[in-house]
Amino acid sequence: MPQILVIDDDRHIREVVEYSLSREGFGVSCASDGREGLARARADDIDLVVLDILMPEMDGFEVFFELRKTRNVPVIFLTSKSDEVDRIVGLEMGADDYLAKPFSPRELVARIRAVLRRQSRSAPAPAAAPATAKSSQITVGPLCLDPDRHEVTCHGQAIQLTATEFALLHTLLRRPGQVLNRAVLVDQVYSIGHHITERAIDTHIKRIRGKFRPVDHDPIETVHGVGYKARVNKSSSV
């Protein structure tokens, strides 16, 4: 049973979300402010965090920043603002998804399932594959992506990606040299009918590139006016 932590200072939202997730078979715990939520996220065995941005004590961005210092648990941000600023900031920080208030509990459930599916597809295999089995590992120049272990290395150094970033890079690397437009990437990475803007995909790409900058490599090429493709040459500075 996946364990979901809901961090929101609105009691009504906590109760509605807890009821909806419990009906769908999730284990649910709740926190009413950022400090309590951060403590629970660190102490409990949590599979995903639903995190409000505007809260007392610590806002959602602070909670996310502190949490990611020790854990890479998937996070879905909740925001009450109508503009894109908070959503884009959240994605740039490495969140896996966002949902604007007011929202349908059914849509939140669908997004949680989608993020957990992406996480499970990239989780380590429960047992070692037979020696004769074909490896799903992808190597392009100095970059190596292992979907079975959810690991990415470049020049031998580990690159830490979120579930969404990993899924996006994996999608591009499976088609080396092929240009994929943003609509295709949304379909491949998010799996369901998300209202994800092209700017959100650009933000994820920017995040991925930033994580490769310390190893002096850019794994993705921009094809202006079209989309993105995996870089197939052996080395390229960011």
- Residue 152 has φ and ψ, to the nearest 5°, of -130, 130
Q: Is 133 within a domain?
A: no
Same domain, 117 and 11: yes
Alpha-helix residue ranges (DSSP H) falling in the chain: 11-23, 34-43, 60-67, 85-93, 105-121, 163-173, 182-190, 198-212
Mean pLDDT computed over every residue of the chain: 82
Over residues 30-80, the pLDDT tens digits come to: 999 999 999 999 888 899 999 998 887 788 888 998 888 888 889 999 987
Q: Is 147 within a domain?
A: yes
Over residues 91-110, the pLDDT tens digits come to: 777 788 888 888 899 999 99
pLDDT for residue 17 is more than 90: yes
Same domain, 158 and 220: yes
Same domain, 98 and 46: yes
Q: Is 126 within a domain?
A: no
CATH of the domain at 108: 3.40.50.2300
Instruction: List Cβ<8 Å contacts ≥24 apart for 37-40.
Output: 37/5, 37/7, 37/63, 38/63, 38/66, 38/67, 40/5, 40/7
pLDDT for residue 191 is more than 70: no
Over residues 205-237, the pLDDT tens digits come to: 888 999 999 999 999 999 988 889 998 764 443
Q: What is the pLDDT of residue 126?
A: 45
Give the chain's domain count. Answer: 2
Q: Is 33 within a domain?
A: yes
Q: Is 60 within a domain?
A: yes
CATH of the domain at 181: 1.10.10.10
For residue 143, the enclosing domain spans 138-230
